[in-house]
Amino acid sequence: MNARTRTEERVPLLQAHPGFDRDERGSCPMRDVLDRIGDSWSLLVVINLQERPVRFNALKRSIEGISQRMLTVTLRSLERDGLVRRTVKPTTPPEVEYALTEVGQSIAVPIGALGLWAAQNRDLLVRARARFDAENA
């Protein structure tokens, strides 16, 4: 989301890995996709939508620490990329529901795998970090 600026004039790429090579159009898919979902909140939003559609404020509550602004921005970005669908029921007060699209569901799989890894290995990282900081005192 942030790297748009860079990306436009930098021709980013990543080489020598099957699937990560510079492609026909001359840019790296990984870099390209990372620019979209590689920010602080996108992954968490996707995970929170994985099981069922969620309304705006419910989503905001389940992702503690996210501001209204960032949730709006993130959702808009995901919608733009076709990962999330926004549905408005014209009631009063309005009821807006966000759901993963088909594509959104499919990216939720690898993201979920990463999340699982996070849950299982966090302690390792915490300890490694503590040791590193101790050694470099």
Partner DNA sequence: CAGCATCCCATTAGATACTG
Partner DNA sequence: CAGTATCTAATGGGATGCTG
Residue 42 burial (CB count, 10 A): 21
At its nearest, how many Å lie between DNA and the CB of residue 10? 8
The site string for a copy of itself over 115-134 (x = CB under 8 A, - otherwise) reads xxxxxxxx-xx-xxx-xxx-
Contact 54, 62 (CB under 8 A): yes
The site string for DNA over 63-92 (x = CB under 7 A, - otherwise) reads --xxxxxx-xx-xx---------x------
Instruction: Give the CA angle between residues 53, 38, 9 to the nearest 5°.
Output: 130
- How many whole angstroms separate alpha carbon 79 and alpha carbon 71? 12
Contact 45, 78 (CB under 8 A): yes
> Which of a copy of itself, DNA, none is residue 46 near (CB under 5 to 8 Å by kind)?
none
- How many whole angstroms separate alpha carbon 32 and alpha carbon 109? 19
Residue selected from 5, 8, 31, 98 as contacting a copy of itself according to rule CB under 8 A: 31
The footprint of a copy of itself (CB under 8 A) covers 2-3, 6, 10-17, 19-20, 23, 28-36, 38-40, 43-44, 47-48, 50-51, 62-65, 79-83, 103, 106-107, 109-111, 113-122, 124-125, 127-129, 131-133
